[in-house]
């Protein structure tokens, strides 16, 4: 990261990229952050979160993986729509879809993921916690503001999750009492992910009805 200080000092820590509240300019790849007269604006693709107090935290975008366990081909009639919603999220987070042939393979993959903070694992489960779109957006925003680096939203096998998988999850999430086709559940999750970000940013996509 290149840092150019206009006035006084600008500093960045490894945990939260904390920047001093002085006039400054920070350039990171294609994103440019500028600060003038105690107002901080962002030009580029990386999100910015300002907090009250003496500092302002610039958080790098999270990675979000919509994972699923299935023995069927990775692509189907729903895949293009799923990718379209994930692509819409690109301005807020790095989102991708990932398929696994078994729960065991998924758990092994989760164990290999490394980061500054632990991965946040969310399993879609009929016995999980139901959320409205607004509550899910609030939950997602709290993870983002808390410094989460990687969230995995996983749709399990037709037989359901094992007790071992459930014990490794930070959240069991229910999409409701209906039983959904595997691909449809993936599409719903991708759409709700995009909707959550539009709620957090005040985008008119979500009307609240």
Predicted TM-score (pTM) of the model is 0.71
Q: Give yes or no for a contact between 182 and 68, defined as CB atoms under 8 angstroms apart.
A: yes
Q: Looking at the structure, tell me whether residues 74 and 51 fall in a common domain.
A: no
Q: Looking at the structure, tell me whether residues 140 and 173 fall in a common domain.
A: yes
Give the end of a domain, one of 14, 35, 57.
Answer: 57
Q: Looking at the structure, tell me whether residues 53 and 72 fall in a common domain.
A: no
List, for residues 89-143, the tens digit of each pLDDT value: 998 999 999 999 999 999 999 999 888 899 999 999 999 999 999 999 999 999 9
CA torsion 173-179-184-188 (nearest 10°) is: -40
Split into its structural domains, the chain has a count of: 2
| Residue 135: both structure tokens together | 């509550």
Asked whether residue 206 is domain-assigned, the answer is: no
CATH of the domain at 126: 3.40.1280.10
List, for residues 17-73, the tens digit of each pLDDT value: 333 333 333 333 333 334 333 333 333 333 444 443 434 445 568 999 999 998 876
Give the structural domain span for 41. Answer: 2-57
């Amino acid at each position: 990261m290149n840092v150019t200080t206009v006035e006084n000092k600008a500093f960045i820590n490894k945990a939260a990229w904390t920047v001093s509240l002085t006039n400054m300019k920070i350039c990171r790849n294609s994103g440019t952050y500028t600060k003038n007269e105690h107002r901080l604006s962002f030009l580029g693709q990386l999100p910015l979160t300002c907090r009250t107090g003496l500092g302002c935290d610039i958080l790098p975008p999270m990675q979000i993986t919509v994972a699923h366990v299935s023995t069927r081909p990775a692509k189907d009639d729903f895949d293009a729509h799923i990718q379209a919603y994930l692509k819409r999220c690109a301005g807020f987070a790095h989102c991708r879809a990932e398929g696994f042939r078994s729960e065991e393979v998924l758990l092994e993959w989760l164990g290999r993921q490394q980061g500054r903070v632990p991965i946040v694992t969310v399993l879609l489960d009929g016995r999980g916690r139901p959320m409205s779109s607004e509550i899910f957006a609030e939950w997602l925003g709290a993870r983002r503001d808390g410094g989460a680096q990687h969230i995995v939203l996983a749709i399990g096998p037709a037989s359901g999750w094992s007790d071992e998988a459930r014990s490794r999850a930070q959240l069991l999430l229910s999409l409701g009492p209906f039983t959904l086709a595997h691909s449809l559940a993936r599409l719903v999750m991708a759409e709700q992910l995009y909707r959550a970000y539009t709620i957090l940013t005040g985008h008119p996509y979500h009307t609240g009805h």
